[in-house]
Amino acid sequence: MEKIDVVASLGQMQLLRPAWVTAALAANDRLKLYLTVLQVARTHAEQPDTPPPNLGHELASAQVGAAWLKDLPGTAYREGRDLHIPDLPRVAALLRDDLRIMARPLLEGAAESALDSRVERWCAWLDTLTDDRLQAERLKALTRCAASLALQGGEG
């Protein structure tokens, strides 16, 4: 039996809160990285003759070992209003998972809240990203949502 299961079975979930906060802070760093990757991909798609910056340092700082993320911006392109970002569904899954991790310390054990509804709405939307297309407006909205959750603890 895992430690978390033992603690949960004893009804001592508050003992897990410090670990959840630590995990939430790391998830916040990863979220910022994933959004940076998507924003750099957008910039590259709009200015394809300009090489994208090397994100190796940012990946290392966020302790993300997914080398494919470093190369992703250079493969993005624009078609009309859509950005085509290879591996977008993989990035969306990472964003979804880390949004939930980041929100957990605030949501666990609390009654359903506006924050819970917003997190679930964005996670459901991220699940709809099943191909490589993303409208620039949706990327901006996602960036604002994640910043609101990260910086304002869900107030925004």
pLDDT tens series, the chain, 156 aa: 565 555 555 556 677 778 888 999 999 999 999 999 999 999 999 999 999 898 888 988 888 988 899 999 999 999 988 999 999 999 999 999 999 998 888 777 666 677 788 888 889 989 999 999 988 788 888 777 766 665 444 433
Partner residues linked to 77 by β-bridges? 84
The reported pLDDT for the residue numbered 153 is 47
Alpha-carbon Rg of the chain, whole angstroms?
Answer: 17
Extract the tokens encoding 17.
């809160």
Instruction: Report pTM.
Output: 0.80
Q: Give burial (CB, 10 Å; 0-12/13-18/19+) of 10.
A: exposed
C-alpha 117/C-alpha 101 separation (Å) is 15
Write the CB contacts of 116 (distance below 8 Å, at least 6 apart in sequence): 103, 107, 110
Closest CA to 34 of 58, 16, 17, 14: 58
